[in-house]
Every structure is written in C-alpha cells, then in structure tokens.
Amino acid sequence: MARMKFLLDSDRCIECNACVTACKNENEVPWGINRRRVVTLNDGKPGERSVSMACMHCTDAPCAAVCPVSCFYTTADAIVLHDKDLCIGCGYCFYACPFGAPQYPRIGNFGSRGKMDKCTYCAGGPQADNSEAEFIQYGANRIAEGKLPLCAEMCSTKALLAGDGEVIAQIYRERVQRRGYGAGAWGWRTAYRETVAI
C-alpha cells in the first residue's frame, strides 16, 4: 500500500515559488490562501536554506486528533483530507498543526473564519472524483487521474518530491549519497516520526 508523503530537499530548494503558483494554478486557490509556501531560514547568511512547506499529511495527524467535529479522514494512500461540509472553522487544527498548513478564508474576522482550507495533495475532497462540487470546494483531484501533486511535478530543481514515502526516500537517499551532503528530509520527524537514514 502506497504511503504518500512530501519530501523537501533543502539543498535543492531555491525559493523559486513554482510550487506555490503551480498549486494556485491547479486548484484555483484564491488570493490570501496559501496552501503551500516557501520559507527562507537564515536569510542572507551562509547556510541560508529555503524550505517549501504545505500540509505534510502526517501520520497520526494532529489536525485530525484535535478536530472537535472529526471532519478529517485519511485515504488509503495516507493522504489527510477533510470535509468542508463538516468543518466549523474553529481553528483548532491550526493550533495543533506543526507546519501552519490550515488556512482560513476570513482570518481575523469576528465570529467565523470560514471553512478551513489546506493542501489536499491534489486529491480533492470527499465528493465524487473530479466532480464540479469537488473542484469548487477542494480543487483538482490529480491523484484520481493517476497524477501526482502539481507542486512537486513542477518543482524547478526537483527539490520537492511527492509520491510513495519509500520511493521518494530512496531517491533522496541516493541523491545524498551521490553528492555527499544533505540537510535531512524537512519535517519528516515531526510529520511521520521517522527520518531518512542515509
């Protein structure tokens, strides 16, 4: 059984933001909702590294654990999705998420933040695959079409890998062995409670 993961090779990421706009393009994500983002650590100093981050689709996902209405579900590929029809916009998933993945359409507004939105691993939502309703609420469902998330597919330097955890870990492992350095698979320990042993 495939276990879908993201792996970010920070020695390759150049903060080109292709992943960000690819996500927006593919899912028609509105202004202000950032399902994926690139953060630069150590900006301007030797050792500067950029990391592209979105929902990591965690093992034992904290968002799902704390959701008061249990709107999250995990697919057979271990993709963590949620049902916007059940979401009440309470914001608990944002408190629990280690990666800042959940987004709300009306941040700061009194009363309600609206339904939470986050990276779907380009796997849509609970509606019928590639239906109009699914697209409007969640965006594309590339997984159902046998494709991978567009952010990773379009990553300019192939820093962002998506796919079965073992496959991408192997790619990364080989890459690190070939080049002799690697800053680790970002977020893996937090998300999957494991790391890529080289």
Conformation bin of residue 80: beta by default, left when phi > 0, alpha when psi is -120 to 50? beta
What is the DSSP code (8-state) at residue 109? Answer: -
For residue 51, give the H/E element and its range.
strand 49-53
For residue 162, give the H/E element and its range.
strand 160-164
Q: C-beta of 65: minimal distance to another protein in Å? A: 6
Q: Which of residues 168-197 bind another protein (CB under 8 A)?
A: 168, 170-171, 174-190, 195
- Contacts for 174 with CB less than 8 Å, ≥ 6 apart: none
Q: C-beta of 117: minimal distance to another protein in Å? A: 13
> Which C-beta is closer to another protein: that of 57 or that of 141?
141
> Which C-beta is closer to another protein: that of 57 or that of 142?
142
For residue 22, give the H/E element and its range.
helix 18-27
- Indicate which single residue of 43, 59, 114, 119 sits in contact with another protein (rule: CB under 8 A): 43
- Indicate which single residue of 50, 119, 120, 121 sits in contact with another protein (rule: CB under 8 A): 50
Q: Which of residues 118-137 bind another protein (CB under 8 A)?
A: 126-132, 134-136
Q: What are phi and psi of 39, to 5 degrees?
A: -110, 135
Q: C-beta of 144: minimal distance to another protein in Å? A: 5
Q: Which of residues 51-80 bind another protein (CB under 8 A)?
A: 51, 53, 62, 65-77
Q: Which of residues 144-163 bind another protein (CB under 8 A)?
A: 144-148, 150, 153-158, 161-163
- Site size toward another protein, by CB under 8 A: 126
Q: How far apart are CA 196 and CA 26, in angstroms?
A: 30
Partnered with residue 25 across adjacent β-strands are none
Q: C-beta of 115: minimal distance to another protein in Å? A: 10
Q: How far apart are CA 72 and CA 61, in angstroms?
A: 9
Q: Which of residues 79-118 bind another protein (CB under 8 A)?
A: 83, 85-92, 94-100, 104, 107-108, 110-113
Q: Which two tokens stand for residue 176?
A: 């690190």
- Indicate which single residue of 6, 22, 116, 192 sits in contact with another protein (rule: CB under 8 A): 22
